[in-house]
Structure 1
């Protein structure tokens, strides 16, 4: 679920706002429930949480708006008013919800569900200051910013007037505010402050250094510091609670202290919860399936833009993390693959290859016990990088050994192995490799971050040299490539290779003669933004058994037919995708499922009739409402309808607006918001009727909001 940002306890339920959605823990049942975008959250990065007087939960996200969880209905209701804002803190006061964000605070009226006012300047503090904390105490609203504290009387007629606010700027950065009984506390730069209601000014409670979170334990204030957790015994008298772990936030409700860490929930003063069984990060990179159906995921991309977390394993019930603490030789996992004996191979960015055998014992291959070699620029013989691993149809493992060459091994422990040097594969010394693909014609395709794509033929003798051939496809070879930065490559058809770059997707048909070494391009098809891609950056390519090619991009998931026809790009707006920033793809042939690893979670999508099947068993329309504006290209998707249905869209007064047809074997249609004359419809409620080939009908309704 990622990092826990805030904790709210309501009786026997603990709610946690995390970087991977909302986590619900039932103290009595000792069970977890996870909520993500797929369950109705507007976004998975949840920064803040609070409960209201009715027992409902409110959650603030990072850029995706505000969400209310209606407990009685067990559903989320989302409000897009705060989109593009970081909702750092929430406080409920009667029907008023104060929303602290990165440009001020807003007053949201919960009973009518709208914003009443926005407050952007607090006295002499800079306008649009980011507010980290907000509180209501003593008839005033209080805010904490990186420039100090500010407060205003709620009886003031105009809080939008900067002069209505008093400030305390010398206290420095304020990260947390807490009302404990009849006292207001603030966590400032170097100390805990306490508001004195008699003197009407801030006093130093105790100099604790940097405090990142305030909470309550056994009826008293606690403070989270880098050195640990401090507990207030009486005014000015604090003690340290022994605690180890990477702590992020503290709870503010009840006698027990619930603690949010980077690994999950823990508690002082109550029974410990069971392990969460989740990944420590919410980013999912290269994936593979083992013979028992377990999913294995590398925790890092090749560019090392996220902290290393080892390898994640999902056994269809829970997640397990394999890192140095559990015996894995390296946490820098960037590639995963299984061999013919179902042993797991992990390519790392520094430590060669880690191999997990069928007895769950880890082994290590590096420059000292294999043909693998370290990087040469700079010269570091023990820094062994393996950026990708692929298994060919003969069971051999091919490894992209960065700055050394292409390595092949017959298994683990390797009996036969061979290093095809940089010179053999057509790369200059010190140049890098990124991804590999092996086609059904046994040709190896090597993607590079600077030098385009390399076609490599081992001559049919992978463990012998002398008969290899290599062809470099770069923008000099053919300018249609668009970029020499190859980010993905895929080949499941002899004579065809799909190439992903940071400037689009390419489908290349070729002819190659091993005897003569002659390589020719038969056809080249480019896909750019103007051809239907929502992002030019291709991160992965995968094929399925339904005749589709799936291209992962930074802007969504693009579906193409094997013949090159671009069908549709799926996004969070028109599909059950969790996030548009897709990092990896894996097709499970046995289950007919496409695993989609994103920058904000992992999705498993059923491929039905060659298209994405919505998770709901009945027909549904999304996004609902459909927002139409000149700057947006949002479409409505009606999914879950019988295959090949005709769909009629009617206005609320019964007039036919548009007639649509689902393709053969597909159970969804999309609508661009126009009528039969091509004009954009007005705002209102619309109905759809989906009729299958046997004449049976499915009905539903949705709303359209047209921005002026």
Structure 2
């Protein structure tokens, strides 16, 4: 045992205040007006569970539960250990009952009882509490205190350091220190150390019936015959009927509310001490009976357990209520209204949009409605130092317009007409709302405002050809709701391309037109045309770019050999050629096309290469495209003054058919050095 220094301060003088009972509403519950839902009028303890239900321990009538509307009694026949219930402890969702026949545990509708057989020191249990680790401490009438950790029991008695073996009250600090009120003093226990305090240390009386903890330091001890003692860890102070406004020195219970007020249950009513003044309530004020054994403070609702039933005292609790409606006065149901401040809770509006918070304490509050898809005006309502009902706190709920969708032009669309109209879908979930639309449009993102108050279509001025446009729609209803759509984009149709032509005439040396000459164009485009009967040719629909035009006809040479347009940036007319130097089959070497002057392989025609040499020797023949890619080649020995013919089937070296076009024919060897062109048309 650790013996600590004790200091005693006798209250030589304490400021008395006039006993004044504030007007309030009293409601008393007895076995008569609860249809015996309250098991007995002699109430020894009362608590509130996790769901807000009130539980009453009665002397001989078991335990009773009250949900605010209905009473349910629990007795031995229901599973309770004994009908004499002296105390109740709440541990999360589990309730523990100290009875004259052991300890009962109630969880999820099921009862479990522990007795001496299980390890409990004594079946006559008169106090009970749960600690910070989930342990249950059970104070017995004559055999000390037993702890249950969920698996094993441990008992402590006066031999271990407990002041006395009759443990009438238990309190547990947040640091784990346990306080035990006995008939022989009060003990604190912080494993493994025990400390005991008695009248020799400053305690008002050794018969301690109740303990309350206030903050970190103050401990309040209700004694039977000595009044109330406060211990701050160093100094003791005692309040009695003689030196204060305490109703009686026979004190059964002590409770500290959220404002620091102390409530003392005595045999002459209940006394409230706010630190400066005292107020006492008795049966004359509405209390069910003057022997007050238990108290439970819930905001501004005070519950008292007496020898004549349970008393509920509404000490000026307040109500906050109102409606959530649409602008058209239709109620908005299903809105979660959140209340924060002195008390924190939430309510859901009914079909008429009504919400209400009742039995609230005085203080500051913030009211905020919340519902998915809704905007509210005002967004919240606040009040400070509220001490009266706060009703008609109304909100207007509005669902903003639907998100603009289904755009036309569609998102990412290309080649959109420069005179297009913008079209989209919209609407509003609230029937009766009017919706207009703001249009944002520009060639950069985010787009800029272009027009307001539009319907579901908007026709901008002529768009810039080839430009990328960004646009979005903001929908607005007539009650201030706004919905911003996403940013879409489209590309306007590009400017029409400027196209050019090249045309001219192929003439012979006499100035007449040369018909059926093959004219090819290569570069940005490739094509082949034949001159008409007057020697004219034409290429049209040519875009900006580089081109080469080349004429060819069997046994003709052309001047110039080709015409270059680097680039072609305007129409080119009178692009003429002169044909000359006719080569005959008997006059020397050359290339002869088909019947029309060009080779048509699909008609069975072949290019005929004629070799006439004045000297014998090897001759090489190579055929190229106009860009000098080798297509076909062969070689052979020729005799002097003897014509030899070579036929080309218009296929490449791999035996594949070649494309239409003009090809270069190089002949060299045996005194021949000749370049000619041949036109192939499939």
Q: Which of the five TM-score ranges fits, normalised by the shorter chain? A: 0.3 to 0.5
TM-score by length of 1: 0.39
Q: In terms of Rg, which structure is larger?
A: 2
TM-score by length of 2: 0.41
